Amino acid sequence: MLASGSRLGRSMGESSDSEEVRIPVSGGGVAESAGPEENPAYIPLPGALRKEEGAVAENGPSRKSEVSTARTRELQAARRSMAGASSEALQRRGPLNKEQISGLVVQAVRASSPVERRRAFDRILEEMSSPTFTREQAFLMRSEMARNGADGKMWQLWDYAWGANDPATALAHLSEIDPRYFEGFLGNMIPGVASVDAQAAIDVFSGLNPEVQSRVRRRLLEGLIDNDVSVATNYMYDSTDLQNYNWRPMDTLARELVRDQGLETTLEWANELPEGPLRGSAWSAAYAHWGSRDPQRAIESIMAMEPSVDRNLAINGFTAAYAHENGATAVEWASVITESGLREGALARAFTQYHRQDPAAAAETFQAMDLSRELWQKATGQPWQAPPPVAEAPRQPEPRGAD
C-alpha cells in the first residue's frame, strides 16, 4: 500500500517499542480501523444480584467479601496515585515521565468531569509539541490510550498532533503498523503532516493505490488547507490531468474549504481561480454546499447574476444539491442553463432525484420538455415509456328542469 514508508523517519529501534494498539474509528475518520474483539462486559441479572445480597445478609461477612473489599481499597489507592501523578504532570513544565504520562491518559479518558478530561488531554498535546518529546513517549501514550479505551475522536486528534509535531517518526510508523490499522492511522495522521510538511504528505499520498487515495484524499486536503489555501490550490493544479479530468478532487477541496473558512471566503477563492474546469468545479461545489444549507439565499444570489458561465456553474451546483429536497424545482432551474452539455448533466441529476420522489410527475414533466430519451435512460436507468394519457372524467348529465 505504501511505496516508500520504510525510508521515512528515524530508525524505529526495538520492536517492543512499537507494540500495536487498537485505534477505534472516529466519526470524522476516513476508514474503519478495527482491532481484536474485546471481551463483552459481564452484566449480572437482577434476580441473581438479589440472591447474592440475601446470602450475604443471612450468612454474614464472608472471605469473598473481605477479598473484594481489599481489592476495592487497592483500586482506590491506585486511582489516587494516578490522580496524583496527573495533577503533578499538569503542573510540571519539563519532560513527563512514564507515571505522569499514564496518569494524564487515565484522566483524559476516564475523568468524570469534561473539564478535567480536557485539561489532561491538553497537557498531553502540549508535551507532544515540546522539543524534548521522544518516540518512546509517543508509544507509551499510544499504549496507555489503547489500554484505557480512548475513543475515536481522541485518536484522531492525537494522531494529527503526532503528524504535525514529529512527522518523520509518525510517517515511519506506517511501515510497521498492522495492516488492519494502516488506513485508519494514515487518515488521522496525514493531515497533521500536511499542515507542516506538505511535500512529505503528498509524497506518501502519491505512493498509495488509487482506492486508498480516494478514501484518504479528503484528509490530505484538510491538512493542506491548514498549511495554507495556496498550498492546497497549487497541489490541485499540479496533480490534475486535464486530458482525463475528474471533477471530484476539486469538489472535495472546495467543500473542505467551506467547512474550514466559510462560504464567503470559498466563493472569493473560487472567483479568483484561472478560467478552466478546475475553477468550474470549485464554483459549482461552493453553490452545491450553499444550496444544501441555505437554498433560498443561494437562489437569490443566482437570480442576481447576469447570464454568464458563472451563472450556469452556480445553477449546476445548486441543482445538484437541491434536487435531493425538491426534484421538480431542481429540474426547472437546470433547464435554464444555457450551455448544452452542462444543462444535460444537470437535468440528468435532477431527474434522477425527481423520479425517485414522484415517478409519474417526473415522467409527465420529461414528456412536456421534449428531451432526448437517452437523457431519461441516463437519469433513471430505465428506457423511456410515455405515461398513459389521463382519462377524462365522464360528463355528468345536466339535471332536468322541474315540470
Residue 32 has pLDDT above 70, yes or no: no
Distance in angstroms between the alpha carbons of the first and the last residue of the chain: 95
Tell me, what's the pLDDT at 6?
A: 35
Residue 107 CA to residue 121 CA, distance in Å, equals: 8
Residue 335 CA to residue 129 CA, distance in Å, equals: 54
Residue 171 CA to residue 225 CA, distance in Å, equals: 19
Tens digit of each residue's pLDDT (9 = 90 or more) over 85-121: 555 545 556 689 999 999 999 999 999 999 999 999 9
Cell reading at 33 = 480501523
Q: What percent of the chain shows pLDDT beyond 70?
A: 73
Average pLDDT score, the chain: 82
Residue 47: band (very low, low, confident or very high) from pLDDT cuts 50, 70, 90: very low
Residue 162 CA to residue 171 CA, distance in Å, equals: 9
User: What b/e string do you get for 110-135 counting C-beta neighbours within 10 Å, with b at 16 or more?
Assistant: ebeeeebbebbbebbbebbeeeebeb
Residue 44 has pLDDT above 50, yes or no: no
Q: How far is CA 143 from the centre of its chain?
A: 25
Residue 387: band (very low, low, confident or very high) from pLDDT cuts 50, 70, 90: confident
Section 137-142 average pLDDT: 96
Residue 254 CA to residue 282 CA, distance in Å, equals: 5
The maximal CA–CA distance of the chain, rounded, in angstroms, is 113
Sign of CA dihedral 145, 146, 148, 152: positive
Residue 129 CA to residue 140 CA, distance in Å, equals: 16
Closest CA to 231 of 184, 280, 191: 191
Of 70-74, 100-104, 123-127, the range with the lowest mean pLDDT is 70-74
Q: Are 273 and 279 in contact (CB under 8 A)?
A: yes
- Residues contacting 78, CB < 8 A, separation 6+: none
Q: Name which residue leads in pLDDT, 60 or 278.
A: 278
Tell me, what's the pLDDT at 95?
A: 84
Residue 291 CA to residue 263 CA, distance in Å, equals: 11
Residue 228 CA to residue 52 CA, distance in Å, equals: 63
Distances (CA, A) of 22 to 36, 134, 147, 175, 399: 7, 21, 9, 16, 83
Tens digit of each residue's pLDDT (9 = 90 or more) over 193-228: 999 999 999 999 999 999 999 999 999 999 999 999
Distances (CA, A) of 373 to 71, 328, 368, 370, 377: 76, 18, 13, 9, 6
Residue 111 CA to residue 6 CA, distance in Å, equals: 38
C-alpha atoms less than 13 angstroms from C-alpha of 362 in its C-beta half-sphere: 26
Closest CA to 369 of 392, 391, 341, 336: 336
Residue 396 CA to residue 252 CA, distance in Å, equals: 60
